[in-house]
């Protein structure tokens, strides 16, 4: 396997990698069912977390500090992370349901792409704040770093990932499928030498679980 592709697999949430030249699966299980297919799940109800946030504000009292401000930023980033995924789900399903209407289907697909970018952007912001506040649990750190690098390499800096010679090209049209794989073309010496996939539903629920566990301890 190309060493740069191997490194990319190690540091991101890639679940599958395909060699398009030889038509073989290089990493992951070809029979892996996405989270969308296994069970689309239910997001946490934000109101169920209100009392935990109230406890945190009581802890700080009336004294302002940088930590207090960062906890405020964390709450806002978590809310944006939550609603970005909620809207992604809504627009993805609309895209699928409008399959026979090409114009509407493409419209909802683009909205889903916008929501996907928001989900990874705000999720990464949450992770940055957890580290700044030193409240992230060690067992969760590996996944959180992979989530952040998925955002960095495929969403934010996709055309020129830092420290990589290859370029990546996420296919937003893949959001309109009946799975939750974001397909990403890897361009090395040739266009789309490889295709890799991340399961953005699973990425969301994994990070939501980490965040809810931390917030519930406030």
pLDDT single digits (tens) 13-41: 999 999 988 889 999 988 899 999 999 99
In a domain, 51, yes or no: no
Residue 36 lies in a domain: no
Residue 39, in any domain of the structure: no
How would residue 135 be classed by pLDDT, with cut points 50, 70 and 90? very high
* pTM of the model as a whole: 0.95
CA 85 vs CA 3, 92, 120, 130, 204: distances in Å: 33, 10, 9, 20, 7
What's the confidence (pLDDT) of residue 39?
Answer: 93
- Domain membership of residue 95 (yes or no) is yes
Number of structural domains found in the chain:
1
Is the Cβ–Cβ distance between 9 and 146 less than 8 Å? Answer: no
- How many CA atoms does the CB half-sphere of 6 hold within 13 Å? 3
**Is residue 122 domain-resident?**
yes
Tell me the C-alpha distance between 157 and 180, whole Å.
21
Query: Residue 24 carries which DSSP code?
Result: E
Hey, what's the torsion of the CAs at 35, 179, 98, 195, to 10 degrees?
Answer: 140
User: Does 37 map to a domain?
Assistant: no
Question: In this predicted structure, what is the pLDDT of residue 162?
Answer: 65
Domain span at residue 126? Answer: 3-26+66-215
Q: Is residue 157 part of a domain?
A: yes
- DSSP state at residue 154: I
On whether residue 154 sits in a domain, the answer given is: yes
- For the cut 70, the answer to whether the pLDDT of residue 91 exceeds it is yes
């Amino acid at each position: 396997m190309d060493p740069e592709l191997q490194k990319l697999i190690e540091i991101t949430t890639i679940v599958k990698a395909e060699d398009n030249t030889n038509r073989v699966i290089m990493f992951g299980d070809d029979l892996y069912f996405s989270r969308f297919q296994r069970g689309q799940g239910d997001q946490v109800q934000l109101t169920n977390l209100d009392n935990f946030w109230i406890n945190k504000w009581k802890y700080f009292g009336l004294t302002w500090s940088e930590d207090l401000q960062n906890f405020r930023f964390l709450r806002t980033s978590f809310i944006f992370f939550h609603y970005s995924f909620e809207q992604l789900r809504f627009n993805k399903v609309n895209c699928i349901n409008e399959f026979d209407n090409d114009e509407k289907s493409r419209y909802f697909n683009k909205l889903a792409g916008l929501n996907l970018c928001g989900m990874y952007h705000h999720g990464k912001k949450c992770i940055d704040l957890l580290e700044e506040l030193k409240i992230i649990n060690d067992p969760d750190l590996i996944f959180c770093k992979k989530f952040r690098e998925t955002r960095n390499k495929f969403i934010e800096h996709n055309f020129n990932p830092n420290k990589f010679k290859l370029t990546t090209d996420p296919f937003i049209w893949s959001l309109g499928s009946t799975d939750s794989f974001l397909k990403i073309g890897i361009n090395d010496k040739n266009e789309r030498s490889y295709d890799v996939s991340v399961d953005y539903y699973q990425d969301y629920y994994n990070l939501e679980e980490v965040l809810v566990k931390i917030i519930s301890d406030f």
